[in-house]
Chain A
Amino acid sequence: MPLNAADRDIPTRIDGYGDTFGKLYEGPFERKPDGRRAGGRIRGSVPHGGSKVVGGIKDAIAASGLTSGMTISFHHHLRNGDHVVNQVIGACAEMGIRGLTIFPTALFEVHRDIIPHIKSGVVSRIMGSVNGPIGQLISEGGMEAPVVLRSHGGRPRAVMSGEVRIDAAFIAAPTADRAGNISGRAGRSACGSIGYAFTDAECADCVVAITDNLHSHPISPVSIPGIYVDFVAECERIGDPSGIVSGTTAVTRDPLRLLIAKYASGLIESSPYFMDGISFQTGAGGIPLAVTAFMRDAMRRRDIRGSFGLGGITGYFVSLLREGLVQKLMDVQSFDLDAARSILDDPNHMEISADWYANPWNCGAAVNMLDVVILGATEVDADFNANVNTEADGALLHGIGGHQDTAAGAKLTIIAQPLLRGRIPCVVDRVHTLTTPGQVIDAVVTEFGVTINPRRKDLLDSWQEFRPGCDIPLIPIDELAERARRLSGPMEPVRTTDRIIGVVEWRDGTVIDVVRQLER
């Protein structure tokens, strides 16, 4: 079995995925693109042609020409409130369509309804992030073909390079008009940016907008113009607003997370990048939000004006924009209603596509302009490699998200997380699954202090020179791993079979690791 450049055993052929010859991970920036971009089927229209509005989801599926064995795509902007994936797959099942490859940006707990359709063969393959119960099912061998995991940037790259052809894209549209113009900014299922759907709309052979907020007049502003949209289907509800809001919107009072956030913010402040024009991505959740709050304090204190905030945008980030601490927000997904409202009202709050956000094979993704990113991981190892896909028991429960892309793009990539989750260590000798290589991770921050990758001698120098005070401990990675071992005690090794149930692609399409089926 060949080793890739990250020392992972990858078979020369993976059933349900294909040959890996020429597709082994070579390094974070080694593989270069060539050839021409792929696109969808060319369509034409005539003046005053027929209406795009069809009767409902089943009519839209029929109109799209979808048949068994095809590939259909979805976006996940409605997150755990999404109703569209379940409705479309349910309708396909009733229409006798089988053997579908689904190509969602992510699946959540709410999509457990498609499990019977996986078992019955309506869905035979998933290329996309699997969170929760579907991930558990797949980990236990509940699907023939392995899941293909791609990053937010790797996914549009795969589409635009022709590696994945989308036969039909079903786009949940919080607002749409009869001409097929789509926006995520308004409607009862408003989610703000719908940036993950842009590439699908541009490149799919057929595009269906599914909406519960259909306007007879042209809408504005438009996220996806109707020039890409073949059909518009109305349904009663595309989503549940309570499930659309992601994570927490208030800064945590949890002292452990505050401590980690304070240390991460201190590292940023000590870095050479903490100056006017700094750009950063912090994301949602307890620690990232608290880092943003500490950074806001530091920016005020040192009179720093940032350039832009990127990625998943929260209401807290919006407050930075309003205060003038950043000049622009580049929003590929809006995590809460404040962010969704802001993108509607504020021209400095920009909606960007996943391609623009993170695709390594275009003329300049936004991640390449990032100074600092705060990320999490389920595991980090002594080489600073990160695992964000599998849990300590080996189950494939999470997608890659923008982890690989932002880590590769940012000048300072920080993994900020507690050393242990419960009694499970997050710093280990070797990560079970390799998602993001240590070459693009610069520091790990835990409650025990800041751990800087020795590769970044410049950061160690700036830490020594500019460190923001004397109260943030610096701890070597070996010592951190030893602490984790001492606190957790010996862990049972993950027991898997040889069968591969997941393929983790690096953002350039090479195979960085595989996930194997759990032993029963």
Chain B
Amino acid sequence: MLYLPGNSPNMLLRGHLFRPDGLIIDLEDSVSAGEKDAARVLVRDVLRRGDFGECEVTVRINGVGTDCWRDDIAAVVPCGISGIRAPKTETPRMVKDMDEYLSSVESKSGMSVGGIEIFCLLETALGVWNAYDIATSSPRVTAIIPGGEDLAADLRTSRGNEGTELEWIRRMIVVAARAAGVDALDTVFPNISDDDGLRREAGFVKQLGFDGKSVIHPNQIPIIHEIYAPTESEVERAERILAAAREASERGLGVAALDGRMIDAPVIRRAEFTLQRAGRARESDERRVKSCR
């Protein structure tokens, strides 16, 4: 998932070309206080064009506790985004406030209520401590994400190359996410010229159980995809899972199983995602060749 500054038309229009899985359009830290209104208008206009390829689009709004977050939600939610990234989420109450306001905006815009997801950024010690409660505070919560720089500051330390300061926090977030049934997504790797460092960190967080990682530079995307690319055995297992699910469905069984383990909806979703990543665009590419002749 690639962060795009909300005040950069160039990046907003081209970010999807680098083929991240998702775009995070940022109205918070990359936009100075004096540019908030202009950036909001720009982001709204770009969202209305809706040209983001196959990327899922979310918007990092300004935090609950600022004067901007309601305006941000009102501007971007009717424009067809998947969700919002909520910075500095510390308590379930903050999520509930966002949930209520999202519902009112969805309702006013004629959208189905509850469709917009919330990705919670836990950027303080209190937020991390409340991770499970935050993750379960609304059915809209889709993922919890540790903070990077802000969290390090709150912990009275700093970001280091080895990520020691975030190690325990990352483990806790994975546990909380799994317990709550939401995704765990990792924070950004800030050194954009250190490809080896990014590769090391992405491998580590994947092993911890994180479902993905945010990036701040397009050149970081291939490295994340390389680390998260399905192996042949993962592809084979995904195919077996889907075959087993199909068979169970055809036989009218409520629950499918494979190798003695139950296959439920998230497992099926993950298997579909694995196959999609392994073979995406093959069909559409053949269609494009025809259209160019």
Contact = CB atoms under 8 A, between A and B. Distances in A.
A475 interface: yes
A253 B193 contact: yes
Nearest to B2: A255
Nearest to A253: B219
Interface in B151-210: 193
Contacts of A256: 14, 17, 218
A447 B219 contact: no
B218 A464 contact: no
Contact of A470 (B14, B219, B282, B293): B282
Given A253-B219, A256-B14, A460 B281 contact: no
A464 B286 contact: yes
B111 interface: no
A471 interface: yes
A487 B13 CA distance: 8
A474 interface: yes
Contacts of B217: 255
A471 B279 contact: no
Nearest to A463: B289
B291 interface: yes
Interface residues of A, number: 23
A471 B286 contact: no
A255 B13 contact: no
The majority secondary structure among interface residues of chain A is mixed
Contact of B279 (A460, A470, A486): A470
B18 interface: yes
A258 interface: yes
A475 B13 CA distance: 17
B108 interface: no
Interface stretch (A120-128, A450-458, A496-504): A450-458
Given A470-B279, A470-B282, A255 B218 contact: yes
B17 A448 contact: yes
A464 B289 contact: yes
B19 interface: yes
B168 to A, nearest CB: 33
A470 B292 contact: no
B285 A447 contact: no
A471 B21 CA distance: 13
A45 B127 CA distance: 92
A39 B193 CA distance: 56
B251 interface: no
B48 interface: no
Among all A-B residue pairs, the 8 with the closest Cβ atoms: A255-B218, A474-B288, A470-B281, A464-B289, A476-B292, A470-B282, A447-B17, A255-B219
